[in-house]
Structure 1
Amino acid sequence: MINSVKDYPVSHYFNLDGAQQFFIPKYQREYVWGRNNWEDLFNDLEDASTGHFMGSIICVNKQTDGMAGSRLELIDGQQRFTTISLLFCALYRRLEENQKPDQDLMVELANLKNRIFLKGTNDWRFEPSEQAQNKTDFQRILSELFPKQVSEPKGLKNFGNRRIAKAYSYFIDRLKALSDLEALALLDKLKAAILVKIEVPSHSDAFVLFETINNRGIPLSAIDIIKNNLLAELDKREEYGIDRAFEEWKDLIDLLPEPAVQERFLRHLYNMFKYLKLVEVQGCSRATRSNLITIYDTVLRRRPVWVFQQLQDKAKTYSSLINPVEAKEQWGDAASLALQDLLRLGAAPAYAFLLWVSQVAKSQKWDEGHALQQMAAYLTRWFFWRNLTDTPATRDLDPMFMELVNEILVDLRGGKFDGLSDFIERTRGWLLQTAPSEEICNARLRGDVYLENYEATRFMLCKLEETHQTKETKHDLWAQDSRGRPVFTVEHILPKTENLSAGWVRMLEASGNGSSDAIRQRCTHNLGNLTLSGYNSKLGKMEYSRKRDRKNESGDFIGYRNGLYLNASLEQRSEWNEDAIAQRSDVLVKEVKSILGLREKP
């Protein structure tokens, strides 16, 4: 819901006679604009005739009249408001340097002062964020310009190295090159610049607007809004206070540093524990990106301290679920390896259910590490086939795991599980019913698997190879180069290129199964024609015997005599054709189903 949308000149926000203030809550992030942003603004103002458009701002305001002497929380627009305030200060300093100011200039200086302060008071028109000493640095600037109104902050170190000081210095330097008349003209253009003010009654409404508004500022994420709301609530609690709450929030974010992961965690947390009365929000059957703020706004108003404690506790678990190194420390090698496979498959929806499994294991006093290892191992199989067949559809995964929790919860509360093994078996049985059929799996496995899903195909080949590795033959199949690219990639034995060499054409057509191009199109992406290689680019279009016997400059085999299990049958062959691909496909399909089959226990 939007209270109002109006476009105003900057002079309206920094009104000479107005009592309106804007502030950035102390728990919001710091000022982040840099030289490019300052330069763009200054140049745009200089080049504009008048009324330069500076974008929009979003304020939370529960009053009917947003300009009636209240303090508005600036949700989106911090970067522009901070920069405008600094430019006003720089202009004041530049114009004050005139040794013989006329009456007009004196009036303008007085007006400028009343744009920076509320008229007749020492109250600032705009209060920057307290993060990264933004507010203290701004106080330092004001104290130099207006020593009678603002005291100089004490113990301020490294002032000149921070963004507030650098922005102010940038504008001071740019204004030195302007005459008084040019500086006044720039001031007029700044006052005439247009900002659209959007007032909303809640943080939830503010977030919805971020989806469609594109400003030069750095828009807030869902996590920013939830954090702001959470810390605002905790600041009201005597047992917390803003400083403790903010420090604990930083610890939480350190566990999940990526914004996308933070958002996914919050969605998963709600979806898995929505059945709790303290968690469920009416009208929100499932957490999505669009309703996430509404959900957490509602839950936070109920019991903010309890919610924060749950976030902290579950974030620790979630962090270990997505980080195999942490998982090893917390739950042991077996659980770590199983979770590593899930990570390699990109099975993010599985973490929601595993978060719930962790909680169940704790409440039932089961072995948490064993429970997670068993469940993650089966989910690896389940997600392999799901990814390969795209069944169920991605949009159905979150609702599916929510339904699974509700189903299992009934039996759990009814005391129908005789320990962890029963719980695991019941869950596997339910998941099996949602999996693609054997017919679909077989068809996909014997089809063009490389084209259907490259990542699932590479995972499958790596698992086949890992199963047969020994200490003597072990390779790190998941190693990455300095650019983060996999060292071992999927290699086509019969090249996938349309322009096959004469040797390949003769070999393929000797079988009498049709033209070489028809054979290539039928089977080049089949499982039987795929292997792993760390030297894909050096094998390429080579004829089969050259690929098989290829060596590097040191005399080491880098072709199909490289010791990989996947290449063992290739070492003995002198030719490669459709029949050979079909035979190898039969062998590999059986092994894949043995290693990753859904109907066999991990």
Structure 2
Amino acid sequence: MPGMNFNTTNNTFRQLMGNGLLYRVPPFQRDYSWSNDEWDDLWQDITSLGTGDAESSHYMGYLVLQSSDSKRFNIIDGQQRITTLSILVLAAIALLQELAQADETNLDDQKRAEQLRSSYIGYLDPVTLIPQAKLSLNRHNDRFYQNYLVPLERLPQRGLNRSEHLLRKAFNWFRDRLKADIGTKGEEIVRFIDSIVDLIFFTVITVTDELNAFTVFETLNARGVRLSATDLLKNYLFSVVSKEGAHTTELQNLEERWEGIVGLLGSESFPEFLRIFWNSRHKLVRKSHLFKTIRRAIVKKGDAFSLIRELDTHARIYAALRNPQESSWSRKERDYLRQLQMFNVRQPLALLLAAYNRLGEENREGFTKILRTIAVISFRYNVICNHPSNEQEKIYNAIAQKIFSGTFDSAGNIIPALQPVYPEDRIFRTAFSEKELRTTNSRNKKVVRYILFAIERHCSGSTFDFESATYSLEHILPEHPENGWETFDDQLHSRCVYLLGNMTLLATGENRNLGNQSYQEKRTIYSLSEFLITQGISKHFDEWTPATIRSRQSWMAKQACSVWHVSFS
């Protein structure tokens, strides 16, 4: 990541918490949410360290910190793990204090408790008993953590929010586990804590500001490590609002809207929605530049409130576009959205978001026409021609901007603007004539079924459910040929078996009975099929060769030009 101001180290829990540094969960970071499953997984991992064939250390994953002075750190990602480990240490301290209180002459356990506290938790002011903790939690959790957990006061059970209940339960859960599995001898409790703090380690990434943190998140997420860029953006927006002195009720309203959006979409889907929303009204922004762009645009309290209100409205539209089963869709709209989902294309979503916002309520017929046009273009451009999507997305984005600005306000001026991404018949027919889809891939198998059923409907007028298990996909030249297919050597078989021209439809029972029989044996069954395109194989081809496969696929390509067609005139 050239040009970024950050560093990466591997640190044990002792190195992190035993060095006089201070850690803070930003006020608007998500609340504590771990429960029994996560506590038990962690406990099993750390109690098995060094025993039998178990690992000698336990990797806790990435810890992303933000700091400008290398003394005070905001925990951008990893607060659940750090908080839980701190609660585990507090549970151990509580047990040591219980042992010391039970025996007034037991000074050793009191000293042990004080040592653990000063090393990993912080200290209590001897006069006021106010804690000076190494860790501070977010605005919903810190009061409970500082006032009850850190000083080990009696924990209240009523009047707590959900995450405070979880903090209380976590403390009790680890105290019970320590008693049951480690014992009630002070030296054993301390020996256990003293060993695990050196065996638990994190990969610590320290950045100087939110922009670098966001870039780290995007890079790690691309490598399969899920970090919460959603929380990072939330912290930024709420910090903008807080700087101008927002009232408590304003912050509460803002948070309720935010949680509603993330709850609807899920925290992992939110960043993709955010980019699509932004691109539905602004110049195209790539994922890597999105946070920087938003930070530049959202600088005032009013900007943040306006953005979240718009996100709240559009999140519902986006969720519906991603869910063909949404009850508000008509049958046709549901079919087109299912097709886009099956084709795995997302490039049109910003345009569709803008189009629905402009037309969806007042001119539903116009929106449906746009949706059908997008589905046809996606099939031609993305599935069959396999053209690069970068230029396509730029055109979609330019149209979305014009819809948002009001320049385009009807299907009559939106659809013609889509013509540059509509492969003309000659190009589409050529690509279709050569198309190969390996049906070992489940998505490809679904797409092939969709193609064959659509051509069948075009030729016979009969409509079948292409997802029904009543019908199955038949490879005329079998995927695993036996007797009767000697003319196809391995190389020729590999080139022909997944061509569209080699595939057709049969009733599932018929297909199962056919197995890997020769073409002449299959031909008799094909002639009796309920599918016109399958009957045609028997009628038009006396033998099955590479040439006949190509011939049939050319015929299919001609039909496809009529099936997937848009008239721009």
TM range (shorter): 0.7 to 0.9
Matched, 1:596 2:555: no
After TM superposition, list the pairs within 5 Å mapping 1:18-417 onto structure 2: 20-23=22-25, 25=27, 27-32=29-34, 33-44=38-49, 57-62=63-68, 64=69, 66-67=71-72, 72-96=73-97, 97=99, 99=103, 103-114=107-118, 115-120=120-125, 121-123=129-131, 124-128=133-137, 136=144, 145-147=152-154, 152-155=156-159, 163=170, 165-176=172-183, 179-190=185-196, 198-210=205-217, 219-234=226-241, 237-238=246-247, 240-257=249-266, 259=268, 261-275=269-283, 286-288=285-287, 290-302=288-300, 303-326=303-326, 329=328, 332-361=330-359, 367-405=362-400, 413=407
Tell me by how many angstroms 1:287 deviates: 2.5
Quote how far apart the aligned CAs of 1:203 are: 2.6
Partner of 1:541, secondary structure, is: coil
CA distance 1:441–1:14, shift in 2 (3 Å): closer
CA displacement at 1:81 relative to structure 2: 1.5
In structure 2, the CA distance between the partners of 1:334 and 1:5, relative to structure 1 (3 Å rule), is closer
Contact 1:345 1:459 in 2 (8 A): no
Is the counterpart of residue 563 in structure 1 residue 564 in structure 2?
no
In structure 2, what is the equivalent of residue 445 of structure 1?
A: 432
User: In 1, distance between residues paired with 2:515 and 2:26?
Assistant: 58
Contact 1:528 1:588 in 2 (8 A): yes
**Secondary structure of the equivalent of 2:65?**
strand
C-alpha contact (below 8 Å) 1:207/1:225 kept by paired residues = yes
CA contact (8 A) 2:7 2:206 kept: yes
Structure-2 separation of matches of 1:460 and 1:233: 51
Distance 2:331 2:84 in 1: 52
What CA distance in whole angstroms lies between the structure 2 residues aligned with 1:342 and 1:50?
Answer: 48
The residue type equivalent to 1:264 in the other structure is E
Report the AA paired with residue 501 of structure 1: N
Q: Name the CA distance, whole Å, in 2 between partners of 1:173 and 1:167.
A: 10
Aligned residues: 537
Distance 1:587 1:478 in 2: 24
TM score, norm. by length of structure 2: 0.78
2-side partners of 1:351 and 1:79: how far apart? 34
Does the CA-based 8 Å contact 2:91-2:171 persist in structure 1? no
1:540 maps onto 2:492 in alignment: no
Structure 2 counterpart of 1:493, from 462, 472, 476: 476
Calculate percent identity across the aligned residue pairs: 19
* Residues 1:83 and 1:531: Cα distance change in structure 2 (over 3 Å): same
Is the contact made by 2:367 and 2:411 (CA closer than 8 Å) also made in structure 1? no
Written as runs of structure 1 = structure 2, the 5 A alignment for 1:400-549 is 400-405=395-400, 413=407, 420-432=410-422, 435=423, 438-451=425-438, 456-467=447-458, 474-479=463-468, 490-497=473-480, 499-502=481-484, 504-505=485-486, 523-533=496-506, 535=508, 539-544=514-519, 546-547=521-522
CA RMSD, 1 decimal: 4.3
Q: Deviations over 1:111-168 (max 9, x none)?
A: 334443543042344344677x89758976567x444xxx635356987995554344
Partner SS state of residue 449, structure 1? coil
Please tell me whether the aligned partners of residues 138 and 164 of structure 1 are also in contact (alpha carbons under 8 angstroms): no
Question: Given the superposition, is the C-alpha separation of residues 5 and 522 from structure 1 closer, same or farther in structure 2, using an over 3 Å criterion?
Answer: closer
Contact 2:178 2:189 in 1 (8 A): no
Q: CA deviation at 1:219?
A: 4.9
Give the direction of change, closer, same or farther, for the CA distance of 1:13–1:369 in structure 2 (3 Å limit): same
Letter in 1 for 2:563: I
Question: Secondary structure in 2 aligned to 1:58?
Answer: strand
State the 1:420 CA deviation.
2.6
1:77-97 C-alpha deviation (Å, 9 max, x unpaired) = 213312321221222133332
Corresponding residue SS for 2:317? helix
Structure 1 CA distance, aligned partners of 2:489 and 2:29?
67
TM-score (norm 1): 0.74
Question: What letter corresponds to residue 204 of structure 1 in structure 2?
Answer: L
Per-residue deviation, 1:8: 6.4
On the 8 A contact 2:24/2:136 being kept in 1, the answer is yes
Given the superposition, is the C-alpha separation of residues 475 and 242 from structure 1 closer, same or farther in structure 2, using an over 3 Å criterion?
same
User: Equivalent residue of 1:111, what SS?
Assistant: helix
Structure 1 residues 355 and 588: CA distance shift in structure 2, 3 A: same
Secondary structure at 2:299 match in 1? helix
Aligned partner of 1:495: which letter?
P
d(CA) in 2 for partners of 1:138, 1:306: 35
Query: Residue deviations 1:205-254, cap 9 Å, x none?
Result: 2233346679xx98533223223333444555327544332322232234
* SS state at 1:324 partner: coil
Structure 1 contact 25–73 (Cα < 8 Å) conserved: no
Task: Output the amino acid matched with 2:156.
Answer: E
Distance 2:556 2:333 in 1: 27
Tell me the amino acid that sits aligned with residue 531 of structure 2: L
User: Compared with structure 1, are the counterparts of its residues 263 and 489 closer, same or farther at alpha carbon in structure 2 (3 Å cutoff)?
Assistant: farther
Q: Which runs of 5+ in 2 are unaligned?
A: none
**In structure 2, how many angstroms separate the alpha carbons of the residues matched to 1:524 and 1:350?**
32
- Provide, for residues 408-453 of structure 1, a one-character-per-residue CA deviation record: whole Å limited to 9, x for no partner: 889x64xxx7x73530343133333xx3x54442332222433596
Q: Equivalents in 2 of 1:519, 1:3: separation in Å?
A: 54
Structure 2 contact 33–166 (Cα < 8 Å) conserved: no
Deviations 1:378-411 (A, max 9, x none): 222211122344443134433342344568889x
Alpha-carbon distance between aligned partners in 2 of 1:49 and 1:406, rounded to the nearest angstrom: 55
How far does the alpha carbon of each residue in 1:178-209 deviate from its partner, in whole angstroms, 9 at most, with x for none?
A: 74333333333355566665443333322333
Q: Structure 1 unaligned segments of length 5 or more: list them.
A: 276-284, 481-486, 510-514, 551-558
CA distance in 1, matches of 2:46, 2:399: 54
Alpha-carbon distance between aligned partners in 1 of 2:173 and 2:41, rounded to the nearest angstrom: 12
Tell me, in whole angstroms, the C-alpha distance in 1 between the residues paired with 2:460 and 2:31.
50
Tell me the distance in 2 between the aligned counterparts of 1:78 and 1:192. Answer: 19
CA contact (8 A) 1:272 1:356 kept: yes
